[in-house]
A and B are shown apart, each in its own frame.
Chain A
Amino acid sequence: MTATPDTPAKGPRGWITGRGAWITFLLVPPLVVMTLFVIYPIVSALAYAFYDWNGLRREGFVGFENFRIILFEEPFASTTWQAFKHNIIVFASLMIVQNGVGFILAYCLWRDLWGARFHRVAVFLPVVLSTVIIGYLWKLFFHPIFGVVNQSLKAVGLDSLVQPWLGQSETALAALIFVNAWAWVGFPTLVFLAGLQRIPSELIDAARMETDSEWHLIRKIVWPLIAPSTTVVFILLFIGSFNWFELPYIMAGLDGSPFGSTDVLGLFFYRTAFGNQSAGVQDFGLGSALAVIMFLFIAIVATFWTLHLRKKELDL
């Protein structure tokens, strides 16, 4: 009765070959797709970075020259480092705003108050919308004269706050961060909520007997128990922040206007690789070097941070 297909020793020889052929038939097409369109391009990206490129044509091997130029030679270096700084600001702000508000909302939804289902659907709605729609919508809303943001401020008497949000260096990046948080807050909210809902209610009831302080309850009981959810949410936000491209592209343009105040690595990478209207040059070598640097940075930090957070999960 134990004639499971796991035991190739059983059955006639023809059946084994048939089984082998069947498994091969199942595996080969997906493996070919993955190799051709994921593994091969990623490995090539690494190789491209070590070559000199003339437009779309590959020339000689130049070692680490492209990396040196992108990191240490002007005018590239200052753009790279400034963009990197903006990525860090974006990540840190979103950690606080997007994940912080997400946790508060999840905690409120967890009580399953009247209307919780509605609030759940509402908070997740922007998550399913295209970044292009969200970017254009808020670009219109932030219009200095006719935009809803300034109109609303005037309507409630906060005329002093009326300003060209996307048009000045001081507020442009903050406005983009706000839009990103608005669009994505539903994601951490519902992942945290799923984590909260897995906590056994007896545990919470018991803890409530011990303490009256909600804060104490959150810090000592709730937070440690949803640690696996927080790890995933933090890492995904990290990867997303350093790949940030669509929203600044739509709302601030390829140059990160005004005056590069919203320039991030994703935009700089695209400009370097594919050129833009103002500077028609495209350089696949420098672009690849930048891609490799971004990839290594994201991969290394994400790996170590995941290991660190997982270890803390166990400690808690």
Chain B
Amino acid sequence: MSEAPDTQRGLLATFGRDGLMQIILIANSVLMLFPIVIMVFSGFKSNIEIFQSPFSIPDFTDLSNFTAMATQSNFLRYLFNSFFVTGVSIILILILGLMASYALGRYAFRGSAFVLLFFMAGLMLPLKLAIIPLFVLFRDLGFLNSHLSLVAVYVAMGLPSTIFIMTGFIRTLPRELEDAARMDGASEARIMWSIMLPLCRPAMVIAAIYNLVPIWNDFFFPLVFIQDDNLKTLPQGMTTFIGEFVTNWGVMFAGLTLAAAPITIVYIILSKQFINGMTSGAVK
């Protein structure tokens, strides 16, 4: 039988291949994490330390760069603005998205296909290229230099994907529960609120994460709409404080570390949900 040597050769090949794959993966993870680690380390160093020994482990008890960033710049203000704008946008996206998806996914009515198509068109249209009319519109509405402009754009940008994700999900929910409730004389609003809404939670989490990262990180729209330093969000505010501390590398690295911290921590805790959520548009 020639089976034995064959299996053996197969096993050896498998070990060799797996070893190579493991090396590729480790090398890549080092390449991914090394810059982040250097960023955090440098946040604890002075200029001289960064220039002379860029790779050394710093004294982690020296928080002077971080306190300089927090007290001498508008950093905390930017952070608060980012939380505020992102939070309000996500809540509105979920409320409006749920309303539309519930109507489209739960009821058959004339024109529903057209309405769905109307929302889906938003998936294809890059809103960035409509920045000039948006600028004029917001000027006329008095939204310029106000968080209203950002919330309006983010909600409009987030709705199509949210409706896409949630309509698909709501359609798969069983009909028995709501039929029974309807027999008992419950109103449509009551059925939606107390029976269907709790079932929609998984889809709402996916939709929230899908929109969270681009909104939290957005730089383009505040760049055009917001001038007042006290209204800037974190990514936009970063250009300001980097400019202020341009000769102090330690403080710049501390600022980048602080700016990266909130989303990184949430990502590490919820990595599975983040990866599923952010690739959900592409994985179908």
Contact A191 B279 (CB under 8 A): yes
Report A-chain residues with C-beta under 8 Å of the C-beta of B17. Answer: 214
In chain B between 226 and 241, which residues have their CB closer than 8 angstroms to a CB of chain A? 234-236, 238-239
Q: Which of B58-66, B68-76, B117-125, B198-206 contacts A (4 or more CB under 8 A)?
A: B117-125
Contact A3 B18 (CB under 8 A): no
- Give the distance in Å from the alpha carbon of A56 to the alpha carbon of B130 in the complex: 15
Interface centre among B25, B132, B217 (most CB of A within 10 A): B132
Contact A41 B106 (CB under 8 A): no
Partner among A40, A148, A274 whose Cβ is within 8 Å of the Cβ of B137:
A40
Contact B260 A133 (CB under 8 A): yes
Report A-chain residues with C-beta under 8 Å of the C-beta of B239. Answer: 132, 250
A291 CB–B CB distance under 8 Å? yes
- Give the distance in Å from the alpha carbon of A163 to the alpha carbon of B129 in the complex: 36
Contact B115 A27 (CB under 8 A): yes
Contact A42 B156 (CB under 8 A): no
A21 closest partner in B (C-beta): B188
Q: Chain B interface mostly helix, strand, loop or mixed?
A: helix
Contact A22 B188 (CB under 8 A): yes
Interface size class of A (residues with CB under 8 A): 35 or more
Report B-chain residues with C-beta under 8 Å of the C-beta of A121. Answer: 268, 271, 275
A199 CB–B CB distance under 8 Å? no
Report B-chain residues with C-beta under 8 Å of the C-beta of A146. Answer: 50-51, 54, 249
- Give the distance in Å from the alpha carbon of A33 to the alpha carbon of B151 in the complex: 11
A175 CB–B CB distance under 8 Å? no
Contact B103 A246 (CB under 8 A): no
Contact B25 A291 (CB under 8 A): no
Partner among B102, B131, B252 whose Cβ is within 8 Å of the Cβ of A140:
B252
For the complex formed, measure the closest distance between the CB of B238 and the CB atoms of chain A, giving whole angstroms: 5
In chain A between 232 and 273, which residues have their CB closer than 8 angstroms to a CB of chain B? 232-233, 236, 239, 243, 245-246, 250, 266, 269, 273
For the complex formed, measure the closest distance between the CB of B132 and the CB atoms of chain A, giving whole angstroms: 5
Q: A31-B118, A108-B21, A131-B219 are in contact. Are A194 and B283 (CB under 8 A)?
A: yes
For the complex formed, measure the closest distance between the CB of B22 and the CB atoms of chain A, giving whole angstroms: 5
In chain A between 104 and 150, which residues have their CB closer than 8 angstroms to a CB of chain B? 104-105, 107-109, 111, 113-116, 118-133, 136-138, 140-141, 145-146, 148
- Give the distance in Å from the alpha carbon of A120 to the alpha carbon of B137 in the complex: 43
A288 CB–B CB distance under 8 Å? yes
Contact A136 B107 (CB under 8 A): no
- Give the distance in Å from the alpha carbon of A127 to the alpha carbon of B259 in the complex: 15
Report A-chain residues with C-beta under 8 Å of the C-beta of B157. Answer: 38
B5 CB–A CB distance under 8 Å? no
B171 CB–A CB distance under 8 Å? no
Q: A40-B133, A137-B35 are in contact. Are A245 and B220 (CB under 8 A)?
A: yes
List the interface of chain B (C-beta within 8 A of A): 10, 13, 17-18, 21-22, 24-26, 28-29, 31-33, 35-36, 38-39, 50-51, 54-55, 96-97, 99-100, 102-104, 106-109, 115, 118-119, 121-122, 124-134, 136-137, 139, 152-153, 155-157, 159-160, 163, 175, 179, 182-183, 188-189, 213, 216-217, 219-220, 224, 234-236, 238-239, 242, 249, 252-253, 256, 259-260, 263-264, 267-268, 271, 274-275, 278-279, 281-284
A-B residue pairs in contact (CB < 8 Å), sample of 14: A6-B108, A19-B107, A22-B188, A33-B96, A113-B25, A114-B22, A130-B219, A133-B235, A133-B260, A145-B51, A182-B32, A187-B278, A232-B281, A250-B239
List the interface of chain A (C-beta within 8 A of B): 3-6, 8, 18-20, 22-23, 26-27, 29-31, 33-34, 36-42, 44-45, 48, 56, 101, 104-105, 107-109, 111, 113-116, 118-133, 136-138, 140-141, 145-146, 148, 151, 155, 182, 186-187, 190-191, 194-195, 212, 214, 228-229, 232-233, 236, 239, 243, 245-246, 250, 266, 269, 273-274, 284, 287-288, 291-292, 294-295, 298-299, 302
Query: 6 other contacts beyond A5-B188, A130-B235, A191-B282, with CB at 8 A cut-off?
Result: A37-B155, A45-B129, A109-B25, A122-B28, A123-B28, A273-B131
